[in-house]
Structure 1
């Protein structure tokens, strides 16, 4: 393999690979040719629909209506148009339904490849290799000669966004960049940055870096058609396109295979920080499209259904979150036509165990239901989980976890496999660090006075002093902030008071799962454990919030706990330069 290889040689090699895979090569010099080719391919793709009206082609006037329809809107809105049918009125008054992308039979699209298409924008640009599906340029490939840093190709794409992309090129869904030995792909989202470019891998997370290997796998027409049809996510919250990473793709495919071809359960082992919310929601969305499935429930523990998580869920599936404390709302949704529901295990347990509620959902009981459990190592070894799985008679369950329970780390001999079945896909911390998907980390051990009891006042003061004395060194003089995870709420409160007494130079806050008003389900679910009564929890939390208000000039209280949570979340993310950051946050089972 040569150390250097020209762009021209890479380009010719890639085009040969694609034509060998049954792509049609089409010579397109500029935009007029592009539009003419699109008309022919659109007519070919919709030949059956046109034939039902005695037609083989669109008139120029009819095609101009198509182009006018495609012209408007943002890239995000165009991505929606790509996936919709267009009701086009023909010159004789009849209506045809034109399809731009066959999302359900993704192999049955028209695949073409072209190169060196010249586009006139603010400056003239020639694009290396373009993949057209049904005549629309949906994948753009930018190449650099072997040995050139790949980021140069990424930067070139960003320049194209600013200077030349327009018209049909605004329908691009995926970019691919390669220098022959390193190849990455990313969604058409110019604001995401280079860190959101990904290698393609096999099922065991081995990357296909070489362009020839990448092309053979990723550009297989059925694979590419499936990725564009099923694995591009239209993020409603940010109005942008996202594309799944390979391990997310394989995990969802495994779940779909189980749902379509068996009644087996299973779980996904993906490390913390690997985008579990996106993976699980894409799984829920695609499972809900299976005709035989009546309901898909995404089930979380209540202390995980915080304001940040709800916002993420809403962005993927607007209107699906059952975020109230009222079990009646869950019953209403279960009894409605809603196919995807996001709820909590506590509320679901209440719904199936109390006669007042479950008599309203006897019809759902016998329907085909798929449940996807978030963090399946939590809350699934007790009565709530048993109650739920015993209530539904035609149920399939899948779990996601970053920390599965095995025999060797089980406290009660129950394991994740025993509850959920076999592991369907793994993406471990070693894989994530290798992919630069999570930060690498350094583990430091502090022994201190080993003779002291771990929960003694002296030991806790020693730990607090150690943290404060080493804070600047460990956070690179405040470049990072820190979490101090504590095992219980009472211990968090003791630590918080100790830190205050030590009069630190850094800003310290604390938060734990707290319900300002106990819901009707609290008695059954055991929420707010650890306090003799809720008044004590409210008083302690309010004192912490009062300190926070003094530090940051806010005016939060236990009555608007959600706003307090959101404020902490923003300061910990350090994304808003106008917000003074929180240096150290004491937490129990959150963040």
Structure 2
């Protein structure tokens, strides 16, 4: 049995082994199958609890509490005393994953769930490496009230039946990323409600809908619901319907990512009909193809046999897909059906559009709301971010004309004014000037939605003109359906301008020719080859744009309606709005920006160039609570300034000068300093995203902040050194949030400017500039590793430069020599293959993926190693490679 368990290594592989069966042939020849976890009869599993298990890998670790199922550890619990940060427990588990979980046959790689608690707060998360604290969750009751304290959490979550259900049904093995993903409480309750309603179907009004806010993971919820429903013998088919071809492909990719090969994309209606008539249990399709399958005479004979079968339909984004004639045809054709809809923004009477003299709501079609999780719930649970909405360029009438001023007046958004060249130019220049602030120097990306294709074309050409003038280096891309130009239809709240991605000869030839020109710009920018010549090429263009926005290769994406629903990108943090949005259209569009990513992404930025204040307030009231604005929108700039200055006062009280940090009397005082300065970094990160940010508003200067940042980094380095010495420290598991110190503007280019000033300065000024340079380098996480080399350049190479203008060339020559020397020294010291090392470094720099010691590093080492030497040597070489890249390559390009 141990041999079978050993065959697969790593968390993902072990998770599959746990759910698999082992074939065992007995001595008498009888073949039996062993389950390591009984998914069918959960009560047969045997549970045990143990404490203080010791494991020794790189270091010896002792784990607080472990829950075993059938002898295998499946839940690991780390506890901290009250008053300590819960994140310390999270960081401790991260350390255990590096140091010891893999030891002793990788037994603890069978762990499926982690639980962390400080008594007051308790969270859980799946066993997946490279995740952040943002991916930990509170458990909750069905009404979304969180269960935070340890004892009630243990009663609700660690109950044997519930724990078995979580492991058996509510952990998803993502084949795409090879990671485990665990369901959050609202996803659990929604799925349970759907399954219960299918099992116990009411005689009348048997449908249901799930209202989960955008960004809450509806695709994962719907997938798990569909997966469980396909296992019910009474259900013939589960049909997952979307209303747009782009979402069709995205959903198929995600479904197959959760369970490889579980879904075949329906490329055409004929294939869809085949899936209906064969043994395919789960079908993903568009409502357009489904409509064709039940409407066209060519398919009716084959589909007729399905009319009386038990079929469950799940509709994604049902606020857009279920209010036309197709819904009526589906209801009339399939006599034994149930329908379930997922939406982040339901249709109520207030935001419904009248058709045939009647307003249809989500409840009319789907009967009963089974579960809700609105935006205020998601923000409270830190599953999505709040919004920072900025209204720019509002208008009032002055002497018969509309003039831009800084007050809000409704009703002056005439087409003549809104599309005037002067206004569009001013908005373009505004975006160019402030884009770096909003996206933290392009660490994130942005979208801009506009009122029509005509206006989009004008904006695109303005951005291109400004780029040709040398006023920006932004990569701007666009996509739109080349149908006849339309006026702004977003005013009714419905984003339906680009309902289909189509190719062929449809639409206005001029619009299509213009789009082809824009696509040629894109091809030149990214060395691609797309066009509108056919649907396949145009759809390839759509998918490639989506990929490049997510990977931050496109800075601003210009759209009319495309991408404003159904598109999720964690790296997108800003939306520029120059169109009228209302109700669900507004919330859907805003929600493109508020996906959780990391500590640096503090909110979604919405920059509005129209009078949408009233619309925004109405939408928030409709989809959450009239009193919810304070929870959904970030406080104003002045409030953050006040918080920052109050925190500065606390810091100065503890350590009046940066130099005092090293003299703090004990680790408790050091911990207090870390928490205060970390809060300063968080507040400064938010402040810098406001257009009105002025450093003079703060009681701490930039230089003073950098000095304290240097002391903060010194303390972080001290903790790292203590860890290598295996010294126990209360600071070991503290999150230093070093990513908040990263500033792209302070790079080598910035340092070169200071060096040029240093070269021409007189002696007193030289002393000041030299200190400024070295302090700046010491206080920046990216440049810190380069301090010694920059100081060496100042001492030895700077005096040899003929003039300030020659400094960049002198610096490049110095740096290349130092880099080459360091490379040769690394090769010589560790006896490495130079060619292989160069290729490995190039790949590391390009992908950002750290080399693996047992796979990549071992290929570099030329000398034979004794068994006892292998682990330490590979680890040492890996550290040297990482240090080399950090010092000589990252952040150096000038």
Q: CA deviation at 1:296?
A: 0.3
- Equivalent of residue 543 in structure 2, options 545, 566, 569: 566
Shift of 1:100: 1.6
Q: In the alignment, does 2:192 pair up with 1:253?
A: yes
For the Cα contact (< 8 Å) 1:375–1:401, is it kept in 2?
yes
- Cα distance between partner residues in 2 of 1:127 and 1:283: 35
Q: Helix, strand or coil: the match of 1:341?
A: strand
Using the alignment, how far apart are the partners of 1:347 and 1:151 within structure 2? 48
Deviation at 1:535, TM superposition (A): 4.8
Q: Is the 8 A contact 1:510 1:587 kept in 2?
A: no
Deviation at 1:206, TM superposition (A): 1.4
Residue 303 of structure 1: how far off its partner (Å): 3.7
How many angstroms apart in 2 are the aligned matches of 1:510 and 1:89? 62
Which of these residues, 456, 474, 489, is aligned with residue 416 of structure 2?
A: 456
Counterpart Cα distance in 2 of 1:350 and 1:99: 45
Equivalent residues of 1:454, 1:460 under 8 A apart: no
Matched, 1:129 2:129: no
SS at the partner of 2:419?
helix
2-structure distance, mates of 1:211, 1:432: 22
What's the counterpart of residue 515 of structure 2? 541
Q: Alpha carbons of 1:265 and 1:464: their partners in 2 closer, same or farther (altered >3 Å)?
A: farther
- Summarize the Cα distance change of 1:300–1:514 in structure 2 as closer, same or farther, 3 Å threshold: farther
- Provide the alpha-carbon RMSD of the alignment: 2.6
**Shift of residue 502 of structure 1?**
5.8
Partner of 2:740: none
Matching residue of 2:3: 68
Tell me the distance in 1 between the aligned counterparts of 2:428 and 2:376.
Answer: 27
For 1:384-403, list aligned pairs within 5 A: 384-403=326-345
What is the match of residue 561 of structure 2? 588
Matches within 5 A, 1:90-129: 90-129=26-65
Q: Aligned residue pairs: how many?
A: 513
Work out which of the residue numbers 286, 290, 308 in structure 2 matches 1:366. 308
- The alpha-carbon distance between structure 1 residues 224 and 322, as it changes in their structure 2 partners (threshold 3 A), is same
Q: Is residue 2:480 matched to residue 1:512?
A: yes
Question: Partners in 2 of 1:352 and 1:404 — Cα distance?
Answer: 27
Matches within 5 A, 1:179-258: 179-258=118-197
Structure 1 residue 126: Cα displacement: 1.6
* TM-score between the two structures when normalised by the length of structure 1: 0.81
- Structure 2 match to 1:417: 363
Shift in alpha-carbon separation, 1:455–1:379, aligned structure 2, 3 A: farther
Equivalent residues of 2:122, 2:153 under 8 A apart:
yes
Moved more, 134-143 or 301-310: 301-310
Q: Does 1:338 align with 2:302?
A: no
Cα distance change, pair 290–562 in 1 and its aligned pair in 2 (3 A): same
Tell me, yes or no, if structure 1 residue 148 matches structure 2 residue 114.
no
User: TM-score, structure 2 length as denominator?
Assistant: 0.54
Judged with a 3 Å threshold, the aligned counterparts in structure 2 of structure 1 residues 415 and 330 are, in CA distance, closer, same or farther, namely same
More displaced 10-residue stretch of structure 1: 398-407 or 478-487 = 478-487
Decide whether the 8 Å contact of 1:483 with 1:587 is kept in 2.
no
Residue pair 1:322, 1:330 contacting (<8 A) in 2 also: no
User: For 1:426, which of 356, 372, 386 is the aligned residue?
Assistant: 372
2:140 and 2:198 map into 1 onto residues whose CA distance is 24
Question: Counterparts of 1:324 and 1:220 in 2: how far apart (Å)?
Answer: 42
Further displaced range: 303-312 or 219-228: 303-312
Tell me, yes or no, if structure 1 residue 469 matches structure 2 residue 465: no
Matched residue SS, 2:278? coil
Deviations 1:292-338 (A, max 9, x none): 11100110112442654432122124334453541101011111101
Q: Summarize the alignment of residues 492-531 of structure 1 with structure 2, pairs less than 5 Å apart.
A: 492-497=456-461, 499-500=463-464, 505=472, 506-513=474-481
CA contact (8 A) 1:320 1:342 kept: no
2:217, 2:425 → 1: CA distance?
A: 32
Q: After alignment, is 206-215 or 430-439 more displaced?
A: 430-439
Distance verdict in 2 for CA 1:324–1:474, change over 3 Å: same
Residue 75 of structure 2 is aligned to residue 139 of structure 1: yes
Give the match's secondary structure for 1:237: coil
| C-alpha contact 1:548 1:554 (8 A) present in aligned 2 | yes
Partner-residue secondary structure (3-state), 2:77: strand
Instruction: Check 1:352–1:543 CA distance in 2 against 1; reply closer, same or farther (3 A cut).
Output: same
Change (3 A) 1:429 1:463: farther
**1:457 CA displacement:** 6.5
Name the larger-Rg structure: 2
CA contact (8 A) 1:119 1:125 kept: yes
**Greater helix share, 1 or 2?**
2
Unaligned ranges ≥5, structure 1: 1-65, 516-524
- Judged with a 3 Å threshold, the aligned counterparts in structure 2 of structure 1 residues 394 and 306 are, in CA distance, closer, same or farther, namely closer
Does the aligned pair in 2 maintain the 1:484–1:586 contact within 8 Å?
Answer: yes
- In the other structure, the counterpart of 2:752 is none
1:163-178, aligned counterparts within 5 Å?
Answer: 163-166=99-102, 167=105, 168-178=107-117
Offset at residue 246 of structure 1 (A): 0.9
CA distance in 2, matches of 1:163, 1:249: 33
Query: How far apart are residue 280 of structure 1 and its match?
Result: 0.7
Aligned equivalents of 2:96 and 2:369: distance in 1? 43
